[in-house]
Amino acid sequence: MSEEAAAQEQKLVELGLRVIEAAREKGVTLRLLGAIAFRIHCPVFKRLEYEVGRWLSDLDFATYARELDKVERIFLDHGFVEDERVKLLHGTERRVFNHQSGWHADVFVDRLRFCHDVSFRGRLEVDYPTIPLAELLLEKLQIVAFEPKDAVDTFVLLREHAVGEGDRETINSGLIARICADDWGFWKTINMNLDRMEEYARSLSLGVGEEDRQDVLQKISLLRQRIDDEPKTLRWRMRARLGTRIPWYREVEELTRG
């Protein structure tokens, strides 16, 4: 990473953390997600992202609908201007704020709604300053058009953290398994992406040793086993009968900004 790129990234991280801290001081529930959250939550293995040229370019946040008015005020106080077009068209699900520096911030409301829904309800209080690790992983594993940048984020997250039943510096496999057990479509996409991650882990060489590779492969195996062991709901079994004959995910359209 060049000195200039490192300085820009540091400024972006500092801005994101200032916004988060201002929200905490005002009693507002606001958390980081996206690439910046992976950077913050993976201090040891974020070096792998630099190795493959994964740079930060914007900010992503999550909040609750009931707190949107206070969230809007916080962004305005920190040099942001709201995108009124996005607010008009998508205001109950997503907001966009543009910073005077040229960066922009996406704020997702109650859930991440792309190929599949990742709900934040009752979960944003679990971690700070980011969304919980399980939701960070689901943020990536819900993507049908899984890209190399998603693979490197996922690899880094799995390498940095344990997989288990809790949330404290742990990827909550029980929560992920319960979501998969009730939603065949989400289960299908997650399994597709775990296949992709196994292939990626085996082929990745830049900055990665055999210990890194085996650690991630073992955690993928643990996650698969936990998902397989969770009893599936009637809703899951009914949808499974249809399989891939009908779409099991939502087509994602590019957000039109003002």
Q: How many angstroms separate the CA atoms of 32 and 186, rounded?
A: 23
Report if residue 138 sits inside a domain.
yes
Q: What is the DSSP letter of 252?
A: P
Give residue 22's pLDDT.
98
Residue 1, pLDDT score: 60
Q: Give the chain's count of helices (H) and strands (E).
A: 11, 9
Evaluate whether residue 250 is within a structural domain. Answer: no
Q: What pLDDT is attached to residue 103?
A: 93
User: What's the number of domains the chain is made of?
Assistant: 1
Closest CA to 230 of 162, 190, 173: 173
Three-state secondary structure string covering 214-240: HHHHHHHHHHHHHHHHCCCCHHHHHHH
Model pLDDT for residues 177-229, shown as the tens digit of each residue: 999 999 999 999 999 999 999 999 999 887 899 999 999 999 999 999 999 99
Residue-wise pLDDT for 101-137, tens only, equals: 899 999 999 999 999 999 999 999 999 999 999 999 9
Contact 156, 149 (CB under 8 A): no
Is residue 90 a contact partner of residue 31, using CB atoms and an 8 Å limit?
no
Q: How confident is the model at residue 4 (pLDDT cuts 50, 70, 90)?
A: confident
Tokens found for residue 61: 């946040």
Strand 162-164 with 170-172, pairing: parallel
- Residue 34, pLDDT > 70, answer yes
pLDDT digits (tens, 9 = 90+) for 65-78: 999 999 999 999 99
Among the residue ranges 35-44, 49-58, 136-145, the one predicted with the least confidence is 49-58
Tell me the residue range of the domain where 65 lies. 3-245
| Any domain includes 255 | no
What is the full DSSP assignment across 111-144? EEESSSEEE-TTTGGGSSSB--HHHHHHHHHT-S
Classify each residue of 168-188 as buried b or exposed e, where b means 16 or more C-beta atoms within 10 Å of its C-beta: eeebbbbbbbbbbbbbbbbbb
Residue 256 lies in a domain: no
On average, the pLDDT of the chain sits at 95
185 part of a folded domain = yes
Is 257 within the bounds of a domain? Answer: no
92 assigned to some structural domain: yes
Distance CA 137, CA 150 (A): 10
Query: Do residues 167 and 173 make contact, with C-beta atoms less than 8 angstroms apart?
Result: no
Q: Would you place residue 52 in the very low, low, confident or very high pLDDT band (cuts 50, 70, 90)?
A: confident
Residue 254 domain-assigned (yes or no): no
- 141-156 pLDDT tens trace: 999 999 999 999 999 9
* 47: enclosing H helix or E strand: helix 47-51
Per-residue pLDDT band at 29 (split at 50, 70, 90): very high
Proportion of the chain in helix, strand, coil states, percent, rounded to 5:
55, 15, 30
If you ran DSSP here, which 8-state letter would residue 165 be given? S
Amino acid at 244: T
In angstroms, the first-to-last Cα distance of the chain is 32
